[in-house]
Amino acid sequence: MANLTINGKTFTLDVEPDTPLLWAIRENAGLTGTKYGCGIAQCGACTVHLDGVAMRSCGISVSEAEGKKITTIEGLASRDSLHKVQEAWIAQDVPQCGYCQSGMIMAVAALLNEKPKPTDADIDEAITNICRCGTFQQVREAIHMIASA
């Protein structure tokens, strides 16, 4: 059993402590917006926020995540409006297949929390998610759009 705080809610989940956080989120908490891509913290599709920091949830165990504030893509928007990154993604028509975009958006949201006006170099350093469709151009444009707003 583990107690996880996800998107402001407490979940008591029947999982082993070494279960990757990704699978506890997807299968036990039932929040499937966070995606499985590689399972080895390479692709970033499973990116969530742990106490505001972007982390690859496939590489973190449930026991490491206990007691931390976990935010998934489902918890990014406020009750009334989408998060500015989501809005920018819609405005710039960023996603293609969209499978990597939950993780991409979470990574970008964390970057913007830290650096509200990132340079291209900041983006290059912080955003290392894989997108096989190749949406990088729109991702970059959308980040700059938010930064210049």
Query: Is 122 an interacting residue with respect to other proteins (CB under 8 A)?
Result: no
Contacts of 18 (CB under 8 A, 6+ apart): 61, 62, 63
| Residues 17/61, Cβ–Cβ less than 8 Å | yes
Q: Of 11 and 89, which CB lies nearer to other proteins in the complex structure? A: 89
Query: Is 69 an interacting residue with respect to other proteins (CB under 8 A)?
Result: no
Choose which of 2, 65, 72, 118 interacts with other proteins (CB under 8 A): 72
Site string for other proteins, 13-52 (x = CB under 8 A): ---x--xx--x---xx-xxxxxxxxxxx-xx-x-------
Q: How far is the CB of 53 from other proteins (least distance, A)?
A: 19
Query: Is 66 an interacting residue with respect to other proteins (CB under 8 A)?
Result: no
Q: What is the chain's alpha carbon radius of gyration, rounded to the nearest angstrom? A: 15
Q: Which of 102, 35, 111, 94 is nearest to 75 (CA)?
A: 102
Query: Is 64 an interacting residue with respect to other proteins (CB under 8 A)?
Result: no
Q: How far is the CB of 6 from other proteins (least distance, A)?
A: 12
Query: Is 71 an interacting residue with respect to other proteins (CB under 8 A)?
Result: no
Query: Is 59 an interacting residue with respect to other proteins (CB under 8 A)?
Result: no
Q: What is the DSSP string of 88-128?
A: HHHHTT--SS-TTHHHHHHHHHHHHHH-SS--HHHHHHH--
Residue 86: count other Cβ atoms within 10 Å of its Cβ.
Answer: 19
